[in-house]
Chains A and B, each alone.
Chain A
Amino acid sequence: MANENQVPEELQQNVFVTSIDFLYNWSRKNSMWPMLFGLACCAIEMICTAAGRYDLSRFGMEVMRPSPRQADLMIVSGTVTKKMAPIIVRLYNQMAEPRYVLSMGACATGGGPFKEGYNVVSGIDKYLPVDVYVPGCPPTPEALLYGILKLHEKVQRQSIRTVPWYRKDTPRGITIPVLGPDIFLPDRADEIRQITMRQETSEEIAS
């Protein structure tokens, strides 16, 4: 680095010059608190990742906060059902920026083995923006750690000048889906009405 000109020679052992981006990201990535929030089987592997053998605290992440207000990272660890989806979106909205979503396992990523189930959402990315996907059913703790490290890399590359949470034009919340006869997004009401009012396409539903 071209520090030599800025730091007097006698201080070069003690003073370290870096960019604000590096410092900002470095501190964020080393104290990223996940939300204490388990959905299904994958949550058990998440707990194991935090437990003694795999020891998530090596990455400054052992403080799992049950409150979304104090959490930086939502690990969606398991099957997202329709009944649960509105709550997950609400929790996400309650998290303070900067916030990240890690989709853990086949279910959270795309529905997994239960994809065809009538109450299963085909992946949390239908509702939330996801930063890292970790494959597996369940992903081993090593796989989850790898995913987390990837997220750290992503964080390290962000720049304070372009991150969305300091911009005025970033939307603040995500629409929460509603549980009607089936789950629906109020945003898509027009689209839904177009199909349900058209007699032929809408399938006969047994009473």
Chain B
Amino acid sequence: MTESVVTTSSLPFADAVPGAVLDADQWGIIVNPDKLVELAQYLRDHEGFDYLSSLTAVDYLGFKDRTADDRFEIVYHLFDTKKGGDGIVLKVRLPESKPEVDSLVKVYPGADLQEREAYDLYGIKFKGHPRLRRILLWEGFHGHPMRKDWKEPYYEAEHKPYKSRWPVGHYQWAEDRVPWGDNINYPKGFDPDAFEPAPLPMPIIHEPPEGSDHIHTERIVVNMGPQHPSTHGVFRMIVALDGETIVGLEPEVGYLHRNHEKLGERNTWLGNIPFTDRLDYLSSMSNNFGYVLAVEKLLGDKGKPPERAEYLRVIMAEFTRIVNHMWAIGFLLNDLGAFFTPALYAIEERELILDLFEAAAGSRMMCNYMRFGGVVRDVDEDWLRKARDIVFNRLDRKVDEFDEYLTGNEILMARCVGVGLLSAEDAIALSACGPMLRASGVPYDLRRARPYSIYDRFEFDVVTDDGCDVYARYKVRLGEIRQSIRILKQALDQIPEGPIMNGKPAYVTRVQKGEAYGAVEGPKGELGFYVVSDGSDNPWRYHVRAPSYINLNTLEHMTIGYKVADSVVILGAIDIVLGETDR
């Protein structure tokens, strides 16, 4: 902690909440842990920072100029959904001996899942959090794996490239290096026979309001997933039912927790790009985009991509959005019970777009296409011709087809209108993002609110809908496909000739010391990357603000009171991808 608690008026908000701000620099405002909630309340109510976008922890063990007294840092990114703009960053520094801070759940209910994640991975205790349990790992796991002094079983060295592989260049099976012959490690004195597994977490029951014409039936708890056809992967919900009505719901994630962030700290800056592909594996291009934007902020002028690269990035990102939304709509129908046939129609055009990706990047799904300061490969005239053909001649027709068959469809409307209500205030408070937020009538789209790349040059509308229900989310997605087509038409017409890379391609990226938060409006919402650099070849911290994960905050809120069959549809309309949810 900074020792000099100077409450000079030069510090921001010094008058509003005395003693709350300890220090401030270009990366953020350092806040007194005891005054955090008070300051947050003030910022929300008086300064308009109503949206807690990202909350994460950083472990500064062994970082230059840091001691055990300020080992952990919790970083909060707050934004204003009405005015847009850059927002502010709050930081709380916590000592190694007592990593505890007040929970922000009361001020920003959207902090819920993110605080649980920080607790799980860093062991930070959030006082006042209603259910501070592990979320990505399981209850009983040994240690908090994101701490710098926690080593995974296959640990080899702090940073890649590992000596064993380069330049020495021999290979040894990771299994041969560990006593167990496998990716496991147990604490000293662990006795398997004496082990008792933790009990299953039970959902918090929300009683139906008094006096409603509700027939009381027996409560049952039903487990859905992680192997369930409608959970879009390995997602699990534990649902408490009263008859068929949901009275409690507990999301369980982490079945695809692949340790992106820990691996990200071992990888080189460049080496992380292919890993971002595998976050939201339906939209690898936008994931690349978010990550390179974040790192380019640290690179300064070296990271400025040339014109043609900017256009290519936008083209790829918008194609990705179309692919993703078509997939989302198709599988929403699946969840509604129209098993697979409609989904097959919905993903028909996807194959054509994937062919374009394959031609440009070399892979259908895992494109690994963007680089710091540009893109990796140029496209030729033939590619552009094909892309134009798809955009100008095919996609509009496909969307019209959706519109004609689905938008007025009686079954679709009966199942979707008025289901899964989420008011605008709740959506903001719960940190919902992307189509979820816009379907609650909040016109918050990063491409307009905080324009990045060259989005300020294109004409497009931010699609919103006041329905606040599943149907509205469907309509917003459909509208966004149309807007993406609009952007694509402009971009494909305007794309200039020229270089695609700023400077020469390099294996090693020299990144200056500092922090950056880069975010794009991904198909699922605000996809942010928070990176901390200590000036070396590898990130000190690499955090992904995953829209799929944070949107799950809303799930419990939206499903209470609906029938169990609706929960499937409501989940489908959030549009989660587990690779991103669990990371």
Contacts and interface: CB of A to CB of B under 8 A. Distances in A.
Interface of A: 36-41, 43-45, 47-48, 51-53, 66, 68, 78-79, 81, 83-84, 87, 91, 111, 113-122, 126, 137-138, 140, 178-184, 186, 188-189, 192-193, 195-197, 199, 201-207
A114 B258 contact: yes
B255 interface: yes
A116 B278 contact: no
B351 A53 contact: yes
A10 to B, nearest CB: 47
A116 B152 contact: yes
Interface of B, secondary structure class, is: loop
A192 B186 contact: yes
A117, A179, A202 — most chain B CB neighbours (10 Å): A117
A206 B229 contact: no
Given A44-B282, A120-B259, A206 B147 contact: yes
Interface in B44-93: none
Contact of A40 (B123, B187, B281, B351): B281
Interface of A, secondary structure class, is: loop
Contact of A83 (B229, B233, B254): B254
Nearest to B233: A38
A122 B174 contact: yes
B495 to A, nearest CB: 28
B142 interface: yes
B138 interface: yes
Given A84-B255, A116-B174, A205 B197 contact: no
Given A79-B258, A114-B259, A41 B365 contact: yes
A87 B227 contact: yes
Contacts of A122: 174-175, 182-183
B248 interface: no
Given A118-B183, A189-B192, 14 more contacts: A51-B351, A66-B229, A91-B227, A111-B183, A115-B183, A116-B259, A126-B182, A138-B365, A180-B195, A181-B190, A188-B192, A196-B187, A197-B189, A206-B147
Given A118-B259, A205-B150, A196 B186 contact: yes
A53 to B, nearest CB: 5
A203 B151 contact: yes
A45 B256 contact: no
Nearest to B195: A180
A202 B275 contact: no
Contacts of B175: 122
A180 to B, nearest CB: 5
Nearest to A199: B188
B514 to A, nearest CB: 27
Contacts of B195: 178, 180
Contacts of B229: 36, 66
Nearest to B152: A118
Given A79-B256, A117-B259, A202-B186, A192 B138 contact: no
B164 interface: no
Contacts of A87: 226-227, 255
A52 B330 CA distance: 14
B168 to A, nearest CB: 18
Nearest to A181: B142
Cβ-closest 5 pairs across A and B: A117-B259, A41-B281, A181-B142, A189-B192, A118-B152
Interface string B144-158: 110101111111100
A205 B142 contact: yes
A47 B155 CA distance: 35
Contact of A84 (B189, B191, B234): B234
B447 interface: no
Interface in B224-256: 226-229, 233-234, 254-256
27 contacts: A37-B227, A38-B234, A39-B256, A41-B579, A44-B365, A51-B343, A51-B344, A53-B351, A66-B228, A116-B263, A117-B259, A117-B262, A117-B263, A119-B259, A126-B182, A179-B138, A179-B197, A181-B140, A181-B141, A182-B185, A184-B184, A188-B192, A192-B190, A193-B190, A196-B190, A205-B143, A205-B185
A119 B149 CA distance: 17
B446 interface: no
Contacts of B150: 205-206
Contacts of A91: 227
Nearest to B261: A117
B134 to A, nearest CB: 10
Nearest to A54: B351
Contacts of B140: 179-181
Contacts of B145: 118-119
A105 to B, nearest CB: 11
